[in-house]
Amino acid sequence: MVKTSTFFDEMRSGNGARDPYTKYDAWFAQQNNERLAQKSAEADAFFRRTGITFNVYGQSDAEERLIPFDLVPRIISDKEWTKLSKGIEQRVYAINAFLHDIYNRQEILRAGIVPTELIANNDAFLPQMMDFTPPGGIYTHIVGTDIVRTGPDDFFVLEDNARTPSGVSYMLENRETMLQMFPELFASIKVKPVSDYPKNLRRALEASAPKSCEGRPCVVVLTPGIHNSAYYEHSFLADQMGVELVEGHDLKVVDGHIAMRTTRGYKVIDVIYRRVDDEFLDPLTFNPTSMLGVPGIMDVYRTGNITITNAPGTGVADDKAIYSYMPDIIKFYTGERAILKSVETFRCSEPDTLKYVLDNLADLVVKEVHGSGGYGMLVGPAATKTEIADFAIKLKARPSNYIAQPTLALSTVPIFTDAGLAPRHVDLRPFALMSPKGVSITPGGLTRVALAEGSLVVNSSQGGGTKDTWVLED
């Protein structure tokens, strides 16, 4: 563990509050701790009553858990957000162009910018997507970009989430909870709204409908079912958009289209916002034992009669080895330098780099190239000698499965505790929507917070919590 006093404090500078927090700090100073503790308990009760829970995979007692909510908001100025949103937009365009290229002409591979073996040997690369362009040319309709901060003007992209990014329901529920608990705060502090995300999501999905669509597009959310860890979010988003939540057995191929079972027979649908992994999407194309997908959906997709969001095969862009080439990828497709910095990344597949990583495990963060949720990673500075030694064995056995990065000095935002405010490390996942009409980014996003003192791991599956994220009006 490292003392949090050595990190950039987003709320305080010297003896006072930083500009974005000035009004909030004055309000907080007038509050009674007992009242705030009561409000915190009310928020927990609301989340549990509403069913805002998640499952932790791989645990024998995998009961549903509540994601802890902290009532101290993370506040970002309009100027800071302008830089972030421009950088995210640039990145989303570049990722979409990259995906179109590797599934078609592969010019970036021929140019030697990205090694061919990183694509050819990538489990997330789908040959079935070759020589095919999705409706509207969009692969990444929804993108969650994980961003960390190390100083007043220093923002880094930690990773991209282009497959099925999750967490937006917590962003929306966190804001709704804060509005209910502290309406006086929003009366005195002008915060940009996030509540129009579901409306914008439906618009982006409808704008991505195939050319064969007649009239208003029919949109559905495809879920693996109630046992999925993110089922609450699937149900929440379908409800908020006013569309049907369906499972694979509700859909089938009818006359070259995908149709949904209704009380009046089967109805053709145009856009599927799928929360089912590629492997289980079509048992005729991928995993033949899958009961979660729709047999024949890939054939309909390739004829252009259905839009699947996000497109199958987008997981290549999530690969953490590919991430190490993102500055070059952005330059190749946009002609611009990356607005947001990337973290220095060591590819363990390279022998010299592997030796360096093994020699410096105690100082590095090591991640699986396809890992998510904080699983399968090592945070060197927080690990024991035994944990480091055990991880070194796994690393030597499968070096190409890992990348390593220096341990960043993540910024802190205070959380509310029984003893008052205490600094904790945070990251930020803003959500971008892409359609043929352009990119829209919700002002704010999901702030995840490491609740354990000194911890750098913010994932809910590893004990992290969430905060409301405020972007101030100019």
Average pLDDT over residues 353-382: 86
Q: What is d(CA 232, CA 169) in angstroms, rounded to the nearest whole number?
A: 8
Q: What is d(CA 372, CA 167) in angstroms, rounded to the nearest whole number?
A: 13
pLDDT tens per residue, range 60-92: 444 566 788 999 999 999 999 999 999 999 999
CATH number, residue 366:
3.30.1490.270
Angle at 454 between CA 35 and CA 177, to 5 degrees: 35
* pLDDT score at 53: 59
pLDDT tens per residue, range 413-468: 999 998 889 999 999 999 999 999 999 999 999 999 998 888 887 876 666 899 99
Is 376 contained in some domain?
yes
* pLDDT score at 38: 93
pLDDT tens per residue, range 144-159: 999 999 999 999 999 9
Give the β-pairing of 307-309 and 271-274: parallel
3-state secondary structure of 192: coil
* pLDDT score at 230: 87
Q: For residue 449, what are its two tokens?
A: 């917070």
CB contact at 8 A, 470 and 449: no
Is 399 contained in some domain?
yes
Is 377 contained in some domain?
yes
* pLDDT score at 284: 97
What type of residue sits at position 262? Answer: T
Is 380 contained in some domain?
yes
Predicted confidence (pLDDT) at residue 205 exceeds the cutoff of 50: yes
Phi, psi dihedral angles at 225 (to 5 degrees): 125, 180
HSE-up of 367 (CA within 13 Å, CB side)? 22
pLDDT tens per residue, range 375-385: 678 988 888 99
* pLDDT score at 61: 46
Q: What is d(CA 458, CA 340) in angstroms, rounded to the nearest whole number?
A: 21
Q: What is d(CA 101, CA 90) in angstroms, rounded to the nearest whole number?
A: 17
Is 368 contained in some domain?
yes
Is 379 contained in some domain?
yes
Predicted confidence (pLDDT) at residue 35 exceeds the cutoff of 60: yes
Predicted confidence (pLDDT) at residue 263 exceeds the cutoff of 50: yes
For residue 134, the tally of other CB atoms under 10 A from its CB is 28
Q: For residue 305, what are its two tokens?
A: 């009669």
Residues counted in the chain: 474
CB contact at 8 A, 52 and 231: no
User: What would the DSSP string read from start to end of 137-177?
Assistant: G-S-SEEEEEEEEEETTEEEEEEEE-SS---HHHHHHHHHH
Is 367 contained in some domain?
yes
DSSP code, position 383:
S
Predicted confidence (pLDDT) at residue 224 exceeds the cutoff of 90: yes
Give the β-pairing of 446-449 and 465-471: antiparallel
Of 210, 310, 293, 312, the closest CA to residue 252 belongs to: 293
Q: How confident is the model at residue 1 (pLDDT cuts 50, 70, 90)?
A: very low
User: What would the DSSP string read from start to end of 31-53?
Assistant: S-HHHHHHHHHHHHHHHHHHT-E
Domains: count for the chain: 1
CA–chain centroid gap for 406, Å, is: 21
Q: What is d(CA 118, CA 125) in angstroms, rounded to the nearest whole number?
A: 9
Share of the chain above pLDDT 70, in %: 94
Domain that holds residue 377: 344-407
* pLDDT score at 382: 84
Is 151 contained in some domain?
no
